[in-house]
Amino acid sequence: MSNSQPYEENQSDESTDVASRRRAPRRQVKGVVRLQISEQDLIGEADNLSKSGVLFFTEGDLKVELEIDCGGEIIKKTGCVVRCERIHDSRRGWAVEFDA
């Protein structure tokens, strides 16, 4: 996958506190992202269990491939899912750390 740099360094849209903790600056973008999950097994330890779900921890990474349509330019990256957050009902926010 390509290692092109899709983001310019611009901290003007961030609060100083958050920007100072981040490893790289962010900028708002609009576009379509296609995420493909590599076939893999993750084995971990259960922390808690209920009728509605389980919390568990692994040492492994959930590897993914991404295609990002950024204003007509298709950027291809690989990386690991580092966070998934339920926003509302079935809507999720996903954070992926790109491979070096």
Is residue 70 one of the residues assigned to a domain?
Answer: yes
Mean residue pLDDT across the chain: 83
Report the C-alpha gap between 49 and 47 in whole angstroms: 7
Residue 9 located in a structural domain: no
Percent of the chain exceeding pLDDT 70 equals: 80
Count: domains in the chain: 1
Query: What's the pTM value of the predicted model, to 2 decimals?
Result: 0.70
Range of the domain at 71: 30-98
Is there a domain that residue 21 lies in? no
With respect to residue 16, please indicate whether it lies within any of the assigned structural domains.
no
Question: Is the predicted pLDDT of residue 84 greater than 80, yes or no?
Answer: yes
Query: Looking at the domain assignment, is residue 19 inside a domain?
Result: no
Residue 51 dihedral angles phi and psi, to the nearest 5°: -65, -30
pLDDT digit string (tens) for 5-49? 444 444 444 455 655 677 788 888 889 999 999 888 999 999 999
Q: How far is CA 8 from CA 11, 29, 54, 63, 71, in A?
A: 9, 11, 39, 25, 14
Distance, in Å, from the CA atom of 33 to the CA atom of 69, rounded to the nearest integer, reads 6
Residue with the bigger pLDDT between 42 and 2: it is 42
Tell which residue, 37, 11, 25, 14, has the closest CA to residue 94: 37
